[in-house]
Amino acid sequence: MLVLSRKPGEALRVGEEVEITVVEVKGDMVRLGIQAPRDVQVWRRELWEAIVEENKKAAEEAAATAAAVPEIPVIMPKKTAVGDLLAKKKK
């Protein structure tokens, strides 16, 4: 983990497109401004962890449901020779 010291108004860059600026420091709270392209998702860690956990639960439930559903047998008609079909048609 990289640990940096920044004062309000100072920034750091992540890659070429993301800039994080220290907006304000009050007691033990730090306000950050994040400038990133719209296609870059920025998540609070606790929200990201909740989403990951919900996705895991949904995947487990889907797998359990799929395993619980009995497979439906496919009944195929008997193979009939073309000659048999033509003979039936003539009758």
Residue-level pLDDT, tens digit, the chain, 91 residues: 999 999 999 999 999 999 999 999 999 999 999 999 999 999 999 999 999 999 999 998 888 877 776 777 777 666 666 666 666 666 5
Q: Is residue 74, in this structure, part of any structural domain at all?
A: no
* Within a domain: 79: no
pTM: 0.60
User: For residue 3, is it within any domain?
Assistant: no
Domain count, the chain: 1
How far apart CA 21 and CA 30 sit, in angstroms, is 10
What are the C-alpha distances in Å from 1 to residues 8, 30, 56?
Answer: 21, 18, 27
The verdict on residue 75 lying in a domain is no
Which domain does 63 fall in, by range?
11-68
Domain-embedded: residue 2? no
